[in-house]
Amino acid sequence: MTKDLERLLEKIENRQDELVNLLETLIRHPTPAPPARNTAPAQQYIASMLQDCGCEVDQWDVYPNDPNVVGTLKGSDSQNYQSLIINGHMDVAEVNDHEEWVTGDPFTPLRRNGNVIGRGAADMKGGLAGALFALGLIHESGLRLPGDVIFQSVIGEEVGEAGTLQCCKRGYTADFALVVDTSNLHIQGQGGVITGWITVNSPQTFHDATRREMIHAGGQLFGASAIEKMTKIIQGLQELERHWSVMKNYPGYPPGTNTINPAVIEGGRHAAFIADECRLWITVHYYPNETYESVIQEIETHLQAVAEADPWLKEHPPQFKWGGSSMIEDRGEIFPALKVDPNHSAVHTLRHAHQQVLKEQAVLDVSPSVTDGGWFSEAGIPASIYGPGHIHDAHSVNEKVNIKQLIDYTKVLVTFMYQWTHEKKQ
């Protein structure tokens, strides 16, 4: 370990209260999504800090009052040394009025039993705070890293609005991307998620008094309740889900992690009608070695076979609408999978930094949740997840992050940033 790096680690240890204060400041900015459209003040604070760190700052609205912020710390020899994206989201999980927080207010942080409590502490303002603190220390120390560091504070991750995708579309790229989201200091990939709407629709409406003619012998009325027919679609999805649990697996995941959740159902007009339309909103989790396109094809093929076996559904097959760019704007989302290459040189460097700082082997596994990290994979940028906080605390009442783990994470991150940007491009 170089003297410069040793001095950085000493500063993190000696100034840990400043690090915690930074996290508390971020928590005090209420940025829940939904409702979203509320991150501008917090993002402006990040932008100001990035400018103070010597970064070139790019800020633009993804949605009104929800801007992305990107700060680029140019390296002294960018062409020849490795570059790094550090990525985190500013939005946090929603809060309901009935939740009982020990703080009284989820956006008033509290230190208790070695933790910081507040909405976003684990998911994921802890990760943002540690990364921003590390970048500030590097600049303050007068160090000029050879490779570029691109700091991305994005919006919309909690509601599928993929601020990270907008960064990729804007042309930001690097040799490696680190998503500093909740991982309990594990180096993680992830499966993917896609939502979809399945609609069963009758082209004709019927009075509820005609039901006898549809369901009893001799009625001869070729009609059906779209709600009742949707139950066959749901049964078909359950059959496919069980088939997946038997036939598919992926290292690090418990069997059956790939699920099809019937999350929301809507249908019917009122009690005087036979339901002429029913809509089912599903959430599909799939493994890192799959794509959402292939999973969509499997589901549609299976449900088309279900429809073929039913006289009415055969003539009125289900319709599909997949994905979306926002759970708020169009009630849909996509989170691509992220497969981490354990042999990638950046992963080796990160594992070494973890072991060097914490004196323990780093765990390389898969997240049970999803992050924006899959968008880097889609863009051809190698990436992994690595951040403080436990998934059990994310989204929870009295969400918390352990202060010691936050400090450890910041030490590992500054070590990784320093070592990776000092590696020559291959």
179 and 202, same domain (yes or no): no
Residue 279 CB partners (closer than 8 Å, separation 6+): 197, 198, 199, 265, 266, 267
**Which domain, by its residues, includes 144?**
3-191+338-421
Q: Which of 91, 148, 276, 290 is catalytic?
A: 91
Task: Tell me: pLDDT of 174 over 90.
Answer: yes
Residues 88 and 72 in one domain: yes
Residue 127 in contact with residue 83, Cβ under 8 Å?
A: no
The question of whether 329 is a catalytic residue gets the answer no
| CATH code of the domain in which 133 resides | 3.40.630.10
Q: What is the pLDDT of residue 93?
A: 98
Catalytic annotation on 157? yes
Percentage of the chain exceeding pLDDT 90: 99
Same domain assignment for residues 258 and 387: no
Closest of 40, 90, 21, 6 to residue 406, by C-alpha? 21
Residue 426 has a pLDDT of 85
Average pLDDT, integer, range 330-345:
96
**Residue 293 within a domain:** yes
- Which pLDDT belongs to residue 234? 98
Q: How confident is the model at residue 145 (pLDDT cuts 50, 70, 90)?
A: very high
Residues 141, 287, single domain; the answer is: no
Tens digits of per-residue pLDDT, 310-336? 999 999 999 999 999 999 999 999 999
Tell me which of 322, 356, 387 is where a domain ends: 322
Query: What is the structure's pLDDT at 280?
Result: 98
What is the model's pLDDT at position 130?
98
Among 157, 181, 333, 408, which one carries the catalytic annotation?
157
Predicted confidence (pLDDT) per residue in 61-84, tens digit: 999 999 999 999 999 999 999 999
Residue 266: CB partners within 8 Å, gap ≥ 6? 278, 279, 281
Residue after which a domain boundary falls, among 265, 295, 322? 322
CATH number at residue 279: 3.30.70.360
In this structure, is residue 26 part of a structural domain?
A: yes
Confidence (pLDDT) at 389 = 98
Specify if 328 maps to a domain. no
Instruction: Evaluate whether residue 426 is within a structural domain.
Output: no
Instruction: Find the mean pLDDT for residues 385-394.
Output: 97
Q: Residue range 162-175: average pLDDT?
A: 97
Residues 108 and 150 in one domain: yes
Does the pLDDT of residue 1 top 80, yes or no? no
What average pLDDT score do residues 36-65 get?
98
- C-alpha radius of gyration, the chain, whole number: 25
**Judgement on whether residues 199 and 185 belong to the same structural domain of the protein:** no
Shared domain for 80 and 224, answered yes or no, is: no
Within-domain flag for 332: no
Same domain, 138 and 258: no
Q: How many domains does the chain have?
A: 2
Q: What is the average pLDDT across 113-127?
A: 98
Give CA torsion, residues 179, 180, 184, 185, to 10 deg.
Answer: 90
The domain boundary, picked from 322, 349, 376, lies at 322
